[in-house]
Amino acid sequence: MTTVADVVMPRLSDSMEEGTILHWLKAEGDRVRRGEEIVEIETDKATMTYAADADGVLAIVASEGDTLPIGAVIAHLGDTAGNGGGEALASTRAEEGAVTLAVSASAAKTPRSSPAQPSPPPDRDGRKHASPVARRMAADLGVELADVEGSGPGGRVVKADVEAASQTAAPAPTAPTAPPTAEPAPGTAKGAVRIEELSRTQQTIARRMAESRATVPDFLVNVEIDMEGAVELRSRWRAAAELLGEDRIVPSLNDMVVKACALALRDFPRANGAYRDGHFELYERVNVGVAVAAEDALVVPVIVDADARSLEQIAREAAELAERVRARTITPPELAGATFTVSNLGMLGVHSFTAVINPPQAAILAVGAVEQRAVVRDGELVSRHVVTMTLACDHRILYGADGARFLGRVRELLEAPLALTL
C-alpha cells in the first residue's frame, strides 16, 4: 500500500502567521530522505531552511515567491517503495485538482494530461506580476520589472529571473522621470513618489510596535551611570588579552550592560516577567534580547540564561549572533524566548532615547553613548565616562519604585564592574 504525506507551511517562530517560499532546494520528482533540507522559507523574523520530516518523492505545490499561511500544503512526499510512489503521488494530486481539471477541459478543450495554466492577473496596482522577493531584489539591483520575462507560474517574475536580468540589463537611470500626463497628478507638489513594500520582518515590527503603543501603559525611568570603572576594566582586559597573545574576545561595554541586567533580573522577578490577561507570568530563565540593526529592520537575537553565563561567554555569543543577523543566517530559535531587551544606540552617538516595549515583556532598557562629562566627585569637578539609560516599564506589572530599584541595581553593578566577572 502506497502513502502520500503532505508537507505544510511550518510554524518557525512564535509570532509567525505566514511564510514565503524563497527557493526549493530539491526539484520536482526528486527522492528525498527524512532530515534533508528541501525548501528555503522567509518568515517574519528570518530566512531559514526546512527539512523533510519523511522519506518520499517530492511533488511541489507552492511556487517560489508564494506566500502561504501556516498549515497550508506546499508539497507532497510520495511513497519511495518501488514505482508505486509516483503513481500514488499522481493519484493524490489528481484528486485534489479533479474539479479544476474538469472545468478547464470543458471550457478550454484542454487535454486532461496537460491542463492549461491560466496567467495570473497583474498586481492590484497594475504593476508587473512578481513575487515579493523578486520585487525587493529588483529594487536593490536597479532592474526594471516591466522588462523582465517571468519564468514562474503564468509568467510570474521570480528571484532567478531578476538575478539573470541583472547580469545583462543596462544600468537603470539614477533619476527616473514620471511619464507624461494630460494633467498634473495629485500630490505633485511633493515630487515623484516611490513606493517601498515592507519586508515580512518590517511588517512584523510595524504590527508589534503599534500593538505595544496601543495596549501597554508604559512609563519611563532615567538614570546616569558612572562608567569609569567599566571603561578601565575593559582597557585592562584588552591589555591582558594582547599580553597572552591569544585569540580571546574582549567584552564590550554593552556586554557588561547585558550581564548587569541579567543579574538584576534575578533580584527583581517581575522585571523578568509579563502581564497576561489579568495575571503575572514570572519566568524561571533569564533570557536577554539584544537589538541589532540589519538591512532596514531591527532584529533581536536572544542570549539564553544570560545570568548564568560568564561575561566572556556573553561577549562571544553576542558577537556571533549579531554577525548571523547581518549575514541573514539567524534562525528563529535564536530569536525566541526573550524575557527582557537591551537596545543600544550609543555607537551612533545618541545621548539618550526611549525604546518601545516588545510585548509581552515587562520592560526594555535604552542605552545611550558613553561620554566624557564634567561631574562633581568628592566636592571636585572631574571628567568621567558617563552614560544615560532609560528604562521603559509596563505599568501593569512594574510600578515606579520597582523600575527605579531595578535600574538602581543595574547602576550598582556597572559602577563596581568586577562583580560582573565573578
**pLDDT score recorded for residue 321:** 95
Judgement on whether residues 125 and 102 belong to the same structural domain of the protein: no
Average pLDDT over every residue of 77-100: 49
- 226-245 pLDDT tens trace: 999 999 999 999 998 888 87
**303 and 258 Cβ atoms separated by less than 8 Å:** yes
38 within domain boundaries: yes
Note the pLDDT of residue 91.
46
Element (H, E) at 243: helix 228-244
Instruction: Report the CATH number that the domain containing residue 332 is assigned in CATH.
Output: 3.30.559.10
Q: CATH number of the domain that 60 lies in?
A: 2.40.50.100
Q: Is residue 89 part of a domain?
A: yes
What's the whole-number mean pLDDT along residues 365-379? 94
Q: Which helix (H) or strand (E) holds 404?
A: helix 400-415
Question: Taking a C-beta distance cutoff of 8 angstroms, is the pair 326, 263 a contact?
Answer: no
pLDDT at 69 over 70: yes
Residue 119, pLDDT > 60, answer no
Spatial distance between the Cα atoms of 307 and 83, rounded to a whole number of angstroms: 56
CA angle 112, 115, 116 (to 5 degrees): 150
Q: Is 395 a catalytic residue?
A: yes
pLDDT for 111 equals: 42
Regarding whether 341 and 314 lie in a shared domain, the answer is yes
| 69 and 151 fall within a common domain | no
Task: Tell me the per-residue pLDDT of 288-341, one tens digit each, with 9 for 90 and over.
Answer: 999 998 877 889 999 999 999 999 999 999 999 999 998 888 888 898 899 999
CB 296 within 8 A of CB 139: no
Same domain, residue pair 346 and 387: yes
Position 19 scores a pLDDT of: 86
Is the residue at 115 inside a domain? no
Domain boundary among 56, 78, 108: 108
What would the DSSP string read from start to end of 158-211?
-HHHHHHHHHHSPPPPSSPPPPP-SSPPTTGGG------PPPHHHHHHHHHHHH
The 8-class DSSP code of residue 417 comes to: G
Within a domain: 114: no
Residue in 23, 279, 351, 395 annotated catalytic? 395
The mean pLDDT value for 102-126 works out to 43
Question: What amino acid occupies position 191?
Answer: G
Whether 342 is covered by a domain: the verdict is: yes
Whether 296 is covered by a domain: the verdict is: yes
Q: What pLDDT score does 331 carry?
A: 85
Identify the pLDDT of residue 172: 44
C-beta of residue 234 within 8 angstroms of C-beta of residue 250: yes
**Structural domain tally of the chain?**
3
Confidence of residue 93 (pLDDT cuts 50, 70, 90): very low
Boundaries of domain holding 61: 4-108
